[in-house]
Amino acid sequence: MAYNLLKGKKGIIFGALDANSIAWKTAERIHEEGGQFVLTNAPIAMRMGQINDLAEKTGSQIIPADATSLEDLENLVEKSMEILGGKIDFVLHSIGMSVNVRKGRHYTDQNYDWTQKGWDVSAGSFHKTMQTLYKKDAMNEWGSIVALTYMAAQRVFPDYNDMADNKAYLESIARSFGYFFGKDKKVRVNTISQSPTPTTAGQGVKGFDGFIAYAEKMSPLGNATAEDCANYTVAMFSDLTKRVTLQNLFNDGGFSNMGVSDMVMDTFVNNQE
């Protein structure tokens, strides 16, 4: 159902790879709600994904950008304002990558060059994006910036590896930069901490299927889907959340406040018998 929540609003969406990705679902929902946007992803990700299909479907243009490159980001912001005909109202940062995870290196045996690369893509890029928007005064007042994160930033999920550290850093950047963006430009900055979601990126984590099943049993409302996250992000981009900033918002069916659930206990007890 569409409510025209984003009519007349313009933005940039990072990270749409394929129909499974949260950024992709969010782009579709923003389009349904009347928002316009530019799509962007790293050139290598664009070759792997189907972003052209999404652009066609939503009447959007694509600007390739390496989110760790200030030069690319400056070009992205300038071109986006040209294409969209003015300042930006919303930005979705939906990118993360760990070379250590991808290449099966254990947390206790990291290749630090890979660690640094993963940090730069997953967290440093968020600061660089906001710094570029801030310096170019590219955001409209009451604009909204959202980055996607995961609860491994606060709690231990052993196989999430150095991505946990990246997400903790990402959330800290959201608060720290969010202060300046709010005070100086009336722009809000938040992170959405999403349930484990079967995206192309998420499935690179070892034991992911088992963990999705566990989270489903732990959460009173079950796992939040990519579409649930898209809807929440639309709400965060709308004028209905104008005073929400510096928050890490859990969209996880209640998982983050659970100690244990009946369903998990039943499984555990049954396995003991």
Q: Is 239 left (phi over 0), alpha (psi -120 to 50) or beta?
A: alpha
The token pair at 170 is: 């990402």
Please say if 160 is a catalytic residue: yes
* 81 neighbors 36 (Cβ within 8 angstroms): no
Active-site residue, from 3, 134, 150, 169:
150
CA angle 188, 155, 94 (to 5 degrees): 40
Please say if 150 is a catalytic residue: yes
Residue 212 annotated as binding site: no
Q: Which residues contact 47 (CB under 8 A, 6 or more apart)?
A: none
Residue 95 annotated as binding site: yes
Active-site residue, from 160, 179, 214, 232:
160
Residue 21 annotated as binding site: yes
* 73 neighbors 2 (Cβ within 8 angstroms): no
Catalytic residues: 150, 160
Binding-site positions? 15, 21-22, 95, 167
Give the residue numbers of the binding site for NAD(+).
Answer: 15, 21-22, 95, 167
